[in-house]
Structure 1
Amino acid sequence: MKSALALDLLDGPLLVIAPHPDDETLGCGGVIAGAVRRGAVVHTIFITDGGASHLNSIQWSRQSLAAQREREAAEALARLGAGAQPRTFLRLEDANMPGRDSAAYRQAVDAVLAIVKHLAPRLVLMPWRRDPHRDHRDSWQLTMDAIAASGQRPEILEYAIWLDEFGRSDDRPGEGEMEQVAFDVTAVLDAKRDAIKAHRSQLGELVHDDPSGFVLAQPTIERLTGPAEVFWRQCGQ
């Protein structure tokens, strides 16, 4: 594992891509908190509305849950010290993002492209390209299409949320494809752990009438809240 890129990358600007509200904290909350402490601008884009986590709930409609998840995302950013930092909610449908050949997809790419052009990020943090969740893969593709259209060449680091738990062998980086980069987030780990607590709907604290609904398991949280945040960087980037 390579230890780290130059820390001045955290001076920003940074663009964070979160497929769902909570991925920003689980995947790179420590880097967000550390960058903000360094005075960086950190713009977070939430790609989907997160409304599919409890589809069988009667008390929580998809729309009300999506609104709740936006509130949780805002609270999580505040707990990371990024309460005043810019964020964008694209509100694409959770677990049903538009196909790449659709008008809705092109509209979403254009929205991300406008942010990339305005922000001119030095560093982009996005989900791992083959993370075993369709929204994570689609969010990666959407962001890459926007960056390609921008003509910019930011540093790109990819975080994996579900690879270690559900990934197949071909989901993992091939030989010579990627290198690992780790950031020590010990100094902001308490803030990251506190930010995860803001995502109450995903912790089983709000929705009680859908036993089939998603709940973040404690082992998953523990795995993603260690002293280092690890990313994949394409070899030769």
Structure 2
Amino acid sequence: MASLPYADLDSITGGRTTLVLAPHPDDESLGCGGLIAEACARGRPPVVAVLTDGTMSHPNSPSHPAPRLRALREAEAQAAVESLGLGAHRLYFLGLRDSAVPTEGPEFQAAAARLVRLIRDHDAGSILVTWEHDPHPDHAAAHRLAAEAARITGVRLIAYPVWGWTLPAHRCLPSRPTTGARLDIARHLPAKRRAVAAHASQHSGLIADDPQAFRLPADMLAIHDRPFEVFLFPDAAAAPAGTPA
């Protein structure tokens, strides 16, 4: 994936407003913080929707029970997108339960309908979501929700890997042809670093009273601290013209 050709932002997104769907607060910064910053710099700020409340990162913290942790993670996400140049009024929290994103049934349809409303309210032309092969159930479920919203609205579906970078090389190959491109984010790397740093609960000892706490490993942070981001097109028909598979 890291060897894909470079493409311009407009070639990737179609030149219209983009809806970025993050399964958890921090995925937006890790996977496409540079793209968010570039879109803002061009005067076309995206819309960011955080799917879950993120409260399973510290499920047994006495100092941060779920309501307080949710508020903290929302505040971190707000600070993160502001670091990228995005106004907090373009950040939405959908509030689904962390680690319990539905993949079918009434809850699934309700969540997809909320994404459809955001797409239509903001006249978005594309939806960015975590890669369908990311080894986290919420990430795969988020992709399924975004695909449903894209099907209903006809917008371009674009995927960004987060945990997919940790897979062995042979497992990074999808089961069907996928096209993609890299976006040069070198000039936005300082802003992306500030955005990732804003999610302090996820990579520091900010919450130290939960022995089962999640913490982003240093090698994972290093993977996303690069002067490019990768975007994949599950439907070859949605790929930018001239982008090879």
TM-score (norm 2): 0.88
Classify the secondary structure of the residue corresponding to 1:192. Answer: helix
The one of 93, 96, 101 equivalent to 2:97 is 93
The one of 128, 132, 150 equivalent to 1:129 is 132
In the alignment, structure 1 residue 109 sits paired with structure 2 residue 107: no
In the alignment, structure 1 residue 20 sits paired with structure 2 residue 20: no
**Residues 11 and 38 in structure 1, CA contact (< 8 A), matched pair in contact too:** no
TM-score (norm 1): 0.91
Instruction: Give, in angstroms, the shift of residue 168 of structure 1.
Output: 8.2
Instruction: Give, in angstroms, the shift of residue 206 of structure 1.
Output: 1.7
Instruction: Give, in angstroms, the shift of residue 142 of structure 1.
Output: 0.8
Gaps of at least 5 residues in structure 1 are none
The one of 40, 56, 61 equivalent to 1:57 is 61
CA RMSD of aligned residues (A): 1.9
The one of 2, 5, 24 equivalent to 2:5 is 2
Q: What corresponds to 1:187 in structure 2?
A: 187
The one of 72, 82, 101 equivalent to 1:68 is 72
Gaps of at least 5 residues in structure 2 are 239-245
In the alignment, structure 1 residue 226 sits paired with structure 2 residue 226: yes
Question: Structure 2 CA distance, aligned partners of 1:212 and 1:56?
Answer: 7
Question: Structure 1 CA distance, aligned partners of 2:214 and 2:27?
Answer: 14
The one-letter code matched in structure 1 to 2:142 is S
Moved over 6 A (4+): none
Instruction: Give, in angstroms, the shift of residue 3 of structure 1.
Output: 1.7
Number of matched pairs: 233
CA offsets per residue over residues 18-71 of structure 1, 9 Å max, x none? 000000000000000010000003100100110100112111102211111001
In the alignment, structure 1 residue 214 sits paired with structure 2 residue 214: yes
Question: Structure 2 CA distance, aligned partners of 1:27 and 1:137?
Answer: 14
Question: Structure 2 CA distance, aligned partners of 1:210 and 1:36?
Answer: 37
Instruction: Give, in angstroms, the shift of residue 187 of structure 1.
Output: 0.7
